[in-house]
Structure 1
């Protein structure tokens, strides 16, 4: 649901991180920020948006009306979620934490790059293939983090220099204001990717909406934006953020036993409202442009790696698999590098 996001998440994360910095070392050891964030979000009204205008409005409303409530609930979250450091970990499964931004975060870890955007991925993969810095891994040889970075540094630096030169000579050079706005949008896009929490209602509601929409007349279906319907529904249900496997199971059982009819009723209401609403040309979420870069990168990577099965869901795993493969398996890459 990249085009449907809870605008409150980023504000809660910022407040949780700010309060965490002020905690003592002993307390920090007993705190899991993911749990604090989920605790807070579960006690505040959801504020999902699907357009740039909606995102700005929801953020402004949250800042003006919920600022004090966010700070207070985060403080309570730190007190309520502190745990015994010896408590057995029961993390939420990885397959529950899927999004385009989280896939990019995986690639960041793979290449040890703190700042990596989708448009940079094809070139950095090519650099990695040419340098062969993953080849030793396929033979079971350890490669230190410093060694990995040094193997990529030269080609990456050359590419940055070339890109900067082209950018500076362009007639459409971005102003500092444009760059600042893009950085802010990118931070929003990546917000939360380092934490392990998920509103279990998002995938459930989206699935119900899609099934219900298929029952509509084909001409009507074309007028329905699934994300708009999902946002309408999610903003009228209590948020259910989970951070553990047990929490996930408990919340799903609660939905199944207590909320199914309520969700279906709200979905029907949402579909009627969306279908009857006049069509408007509205800009998507401000960070949706990064998913457009993702689609372009997928096209390039499918050609580069000769893998038509690459999607945003498996991109990190497929890239690592290809980097570990013997270079002799890919004569095209070797030929390019030898030229």
Structure 2
């Protein structure tokens, strides 16, 4: 979907397609598991394994959307499934969001839960995240 308030002059149709597929597949997960899945981690994992499909006009958006549906629908489903599996392997992985709005939401939730962000940052140093186990699983790219 094209958002009028976007500051960019181009959009990646694949982001929208992946978000739709993540929404579809997350409803298939048990609710207790789904609440721990970081949707942004699933989406970025999948997007890093799919080709970008940029558009800068309404016509380009329609063309790229059609192309994504015809040429990449099955691949999107499989890659998103793999993304869920990868993210589920390490549900406790700590990460710092790129955008401050998301950081503020997380900080306020932590404060409401009775912890401080400083405590969480200190405790998260005890966990190591091995990137290679996620990025060398095999390529699903063509």
TM-score tier by shorter-chain length is 0.5 to 0.7
Secondary structure of the corresponding residue to residue 284 of structure 1: coil
Per-residue deviation, residues 56-105 of structure 1 (Å, max 9, x unmatched): xxxxxxxxxxxxxxxxxxxxxxxxxxxxxxxxxxxxxxx61356xx4xxx
Q: Which has the larger radius of gyration?
A: 1
Structure 2 residue aligned with 1:220, among 18, 29, 33? 33
Per-residue deviation, residues 219-240 of structure 1 (Å, max 9, x unmatched): 2112211110000111111111
Provide the residue aligned with 1:257 in structure 2: 70
Return the TM-score normalized by structure 1. Answer: 0.29
Within-5 A mapping of 1:1-339: 96-97=2-3, 102=6, 193=7, 195-285=8-98, 288-290=99-101
| Structure 1, unaligned runs of 5 or more | 1-94, 103-192, 294-339
Secondary structure of the corresponding residue to residue 73 of structure 2: helix
Aligned length: 105
**Aligned-residue CA RMSD in angstroms?**
2.2
C-alpha distance in 1, partners of 2:24/2:85?
15
C-alpha distance in 2, partners of 1:289/1:255?
31
Secondary structure of the corresponding residue to residue 18 of structure 2: helix
C-alpha distance in 2, partners of 1:280/1:207?
24
Which ranges of 4 or more aligned residues in structure 1 deviate by more than 6 Å? Answer: none
After TM superposition, give the deviation of residue 291 of structure 1 in Å.
5.7
Structure with more relative contact order (C-alpha pairs < 8 Å, separation 6 or more) = 1
Secondary structure of the corresponding residue to residue 96 of structure 1: coil
Per-residue deviation, residues 9-44 of structure 1 (Å, max 9, x unmatched): xxxxxxxxxxxxxxxxxxxxxxxxxxxxxxxxxxxx
C-alpha distance in 2, partners of 1:205/1:231?
9
Secondary structure of the corresponding residue to residue 32 of structure 2: helix
Native 8 Å contact 2:96 2:103 kept in 1: no
C-alpha distance in 1, partners of 2:79/2:43?
10
Native 8 Å contact 1:200 1:248 kept in 2: yes
| Structure 2, unaligned runs of 5 or more | 105-142
Native 8 Å contact 1:97 1:197 kept in 2: no
Which one has a larger percent helix, Structure 1 or Structure 2? 1
C-alpha distance in 1, partners of 2:4/2:95?
26
C-alpha distance in 2, partners of 1:275/1:98?
34
Return the TM-score normalized by structure 2. Answer: 0.65
Per-residue deviation, residues 210-260 of structure 1 (Å, max 9, x unmatched): 110111112211221111000011111111110012211111111111110
